[in-house]
Homo-oligomer: A and B are copies of this chain.
């Protein structure tokens, strides 16, 4: 155990764990925005759940998440849009079972050829993360949208 592994006052989880989660999110969201849906689904636990909008039924399991993403992206068929999910202010809180609650701001940036980026919606990502060895996985993800209250 090193200093980096120790709890750090009012500032949350260990340095190593916080940075692992930052890297995990960077890779996870570049996979999603790159259309690599199987890579995105592989960042969830086998029984992971993904609810991208408050009213939606959660997708369950990696195959279910891939199917949900394919279905969701049909609205962009023939529309050469580039979407990018930006994250900010990752707050991690250890839960009793060893998992982590993660609460993160998100903005979706959408650009079409020759156009300006549109930035909407503003969301909060509510994740439960599992960490085993050095690997981080999302057990559940539920997204709140600021415009839906």
A residues adjacent to B (C-beta < 8 A)? 1-13, 15-16, 18-27, 29-30, 43, 80, 82, 84, 86-92, 103, 105, 107, 109, 111-117, 119-122, 132-136, 146-149
Contact = CB atoms under 8 A, between A and B. Distances in A.
B16 A3 contact: yes
B29 A113 contact: no
A120 B117 contact: yes
Nearest to A112: B147
A73 to B, nearest CB: 17
Given A26-B89, A107-B109, A113-B149, 9 more contacts: A2-B3, A9-B135, A12-B23, A12-B26, A15-B15, A15-B16, A84-B122, A116-B120, A117-B122
A30 B9 CA distance: 18
A147 B7 contact: no
Report the copy number of this chain in the oligomer: 3
A8 B3 contact: no
Contacts of A20: 8-9, 11, 15
